[in-house]
Amino acid sequence: MWIDSHAHLTNTTLFDQAPALILRAQEAGVKAIVNICTDPLSLERGLLLSQTYPWIYQTAATTPHDVEREGEAVFDIMAKAAKEGKLVAIGETGLDYYYEHSNRVIQQQFLRRYLQLALSTHLPVVIHCREAFDDLFTILDADYQQAGRHAPGVLHCFTGTLKEAEEVIKRGWMLSLSGIVTFKKSLDLQQVAREVPINQLLIETDAPYLAPQKYRGHTNEPAYLVETGRFIADLKNMSVEDLALATSQNASTLFKI
């Protein structure tokens, strides 16, 4: 059985198809989905979805892409859901200097705010990072400590270098791989997959984005997680069953689900 540690079931692309997607996921062996809410509407939809499907769990935050435009208006809504115990994590938050849709300073400010929210609510964080690892590590090291240790979290859809992966690992965080690892040109990321300790590995779809190689060109969905899992199991020279068990246990521990 699998856990999709990161999917956007309640965004505009997928929400109308959610019942069918969820059924296909169940049939493929996906036993839980962590749904990422990035605005008030996707959060509202996510909380309703959990009433019907209690094995679908919610996280929430404004992404680094959108914090300049709507971060201030949305933060209190996300914080309220966290404080009311409706979320299993804060995120996805983080830094994105590749697209830089939001000013870097504003991205950093909201990352710090969401980290403090995570600490105050005893929730892990889901981190998005692209071409911003130096600043990310500096902020996490300074502002995300709990009892003298790095507080829990996951670098979702990791696409960094092996060196950056090693920095994630040595801080005790989870590292999550998406369908990108299956792409033919993702040789460096495949090496990361081989090296990351199995007890710090999660897998995700990031649906509707980044369908694995077998389904490239299609809208991604949680059922496709199994394809990514098989690919990673082969890279790590372990059975698919063992990879599914280990990554599911990791997700269960991180998100307390």
Q: How many CB atoms lie within 10 A of CB 104?
A: 15
DSSP per residue, 50-65: HHH-TTEEEEE---TT
Largest CA distance in the chain: 47
What is the CB-side half-sphere exposure of residue 95 using CA atoms within 13 A?
A: 19
CA atoms of 30 and 52, how far apart (whole Å): 16
Residue 41: the pLDDT is 98
Amino acid at 149: R
**Least confident residue range of 6-20, 70-84, 142-156, 198-212:** 142-156
Nearest Cα neighbor of 168 from 182, 181, 150 is 150
What rounded mean pLDDT belongs to the chain? 97
**For 31, which DSSP code?**
E
Q: How many CB atoms lie within 10 A of CB 16?
A: 9
pLDDT in tens, 145-197: 887 889 999 999 999 999 999 999 999 999 999 999 999 999 999 999 999 99
User: What is 2-255's CATH topology?
Assistant: TIM Barrel (3.20.20)
Residue 148: the pLDDT is 80
**Least confident residue range of 23-32, 74-83, 115-124, 141-150:** 141-150
